[in-house]
Chains A and B, each alone.
Chain A
Amino acid sequence: MTNDVPLPPAPKPASNDALAKARAAMRSELTKRRPASWTANVAKASGTIIGLCVVVAGVMLTIGACTLDFLSTRAITLASLITVGVVTTWASLRPQGRVGRIASVGLVVLSAVLLVVMRGAGTPSDSPHWVCTVSHFAVGLAPAAVVIVLLRGMAPNRLRSIVAGLAAGTTGAFVGELACAKPAGHVAVFHLSAWVAVALVVTLVSSRLTPRSYAP
């Protein structure tokens, strides 16, 4: 047997002072308004992602930067990005659900492959490649801020943070589908790197914040 080793004796019981202090803190917390449920938080984050995508698409249509015909040619990738955004948000914020989070990373990879494959030859352009990376990253920062705040309401978990970051990053990829016609190679390098960068920022920032709760 590997577990037949002796272990330390039982710890001293908690002092009355420690128990009283913890009880008082708990009572004080009980007097506050109950925090939003995790499902409400999923709705909030998903709403931010979908809302941002809709606003960007609306603005681009309004100023003539893209047309409805163009949107219809990208319907599959745009719909897949919205779906991925919602699914990854749910997977990242729900209690437990490690398998779901791993599966949602797989979904992101599939979606990224779809973006590259569907782009094909594209249309070369004179604008610098990095403009896409920077703009997609910047668009992803707003939902990133929302998910970082929501992640503080649960125990720190790297996979959870990565998935939440990938959810936020879908907004940048969505903008890339609306505003860029460059070929597949450009998408693979300059669009996907922005997506990954948003995920890294969320992971890094959330690992440095003190959570408000350590619940799984």
Chain B
Amino acid sequence: MERYQEGDAGAMEVLFERHASGVHAFLARMVQDRALADDLLQTTFLSVVRSADRYQRGLKLVPWLLTIAGNAARDTLRKKKLQVEVLHDDDDGVPVEPSVEPALSDPGQRRRIETAFAQLPAQQRECVILHKLEGLSFEQIAQMLDITETAARIRAHRGYDKLRELLEEKN
């Protein structure tokens, strides 16, 4: 990113190669919709190019990219008032592409987890993804989401609690 800021346009290609897949995986988990995640990937990298000067030297790049992706995802979900739909078997028989790789073990359990995860409010889901799957600290999450560390901690823990509750209901 710093190389791009210094005028090396090729650096953005390298950045894309290294991080596009990770950003897409984050978006797919956030919005639970592959097509929307594809669009948001494009939006994220357009934002990176348009706002390269807003990247401050010394910042960790991945959390910065995920902040942009998360902002785009949240805004899109809010504007579309999109209720994240769970990938049930389609009643009309139209095949729906699952958003995750089929797991080798218990497909029923996989579906239950996926269903419960999709039912989390977007803010809680985002904190859970960033904390548990991206391995970020609450301090980093707070910086990314422009909230306090306590708020980040509360959102994530409410997400875990809600997820456990939903899974217990389904079991």
CB of B110 within 8 A of CB of A8, answer yes
Among B42, B51, B71, B117, point to the contact of A156 (Cβ < 8 A). B71
Beyond A7-B133, A38-B54, whether A214 also contacts B43 by CB under 8 A is: yes
Q: Does B156 contact A (CB under 8 A)?
A: yes
Chain B: number of interface residues, binned into ranges: 35 or more
Q: Is the interface of B mostly helix, strand, loop or mixed?
A: helix
A155 touches B71 (CB 8 A): yes
Which chain B residue lies CB-closest to A19?
B20
Expressed in whole angstroms, the Cα–Cα distance for A154 and B55 within the complex equals 12
Chain B residue numbers with a CB within 8 Å of A154 are: 51, 54
Decide: A95 and B56 in contact? CB cutoff 8 A.
yes
Is A64 interfacial (CB 8 A cutoff)?
no
CA distance in complex: A209, B71 (Å):
14
- What string of 1s and 0s marks CB contacts (under 8 Å) between B42-53 and chain A? 111111111111
A-B CB pair tally, cutoff 8 Å: 163
**Contact between A23 and B16 (Cβ–Cβ < 8 Å)?**
yes
Residue contact B21 to A13, C-beta cutoff 8 Å:
yes
A25 to B50, CA, bound (A): 12
- Please judge, given known A-B contacts A3-B132, A96-B146, A157-B146, whether A18 and B48 are in contact too, CB under 8 Å: no
Could you say which residues of chain B place their CB within 8 Å of the CB of A3?
128, 131-132, 156-157, 160
A18 to B156, CA, bound (A): 30
A128 within 8 A of B: no
| Interface assignment of B77: CB less than 8 Å from any CB of chain A | no
- Range for the number of chain A residues in contact with chain B: 35 or more
A residues 1-50 with Cβ under 8 Å of B?
2-3, 5-15, 17-19, 21-23, 25-26, 29-30, 34-35, 37-38
Q: A7-B132, A25-B45, A215-B68 are in contact. List 14 more A-B contacts (CB 8 A).
A: A3-B132, A3-B156, A7-B117, A10-B25, A18-B38, A21-B38, A22-B16, A22-B45, A23-B13, A35-B53, A153-B50, A154-B51, A213-B68, A216-B144
* A-B pairs with beta carbons under 8 Å apart, 29 shown: A3-B128, A3-B131, A7-B113, A8-B29, A9-B103, A9-B110, A11-B25, A11-B99, A18-B38, A18-B41, A19-B20, A22-B16, A25-B42, A26-B42, A26-B48, A29-B46, A30-B12, A35-B51, A35-B53, A95-B54, A154-B54, A156-B71, A210-B79, A212-B47, A213-B47, A213-B54, A214-B71, A214-B72, A215-B48
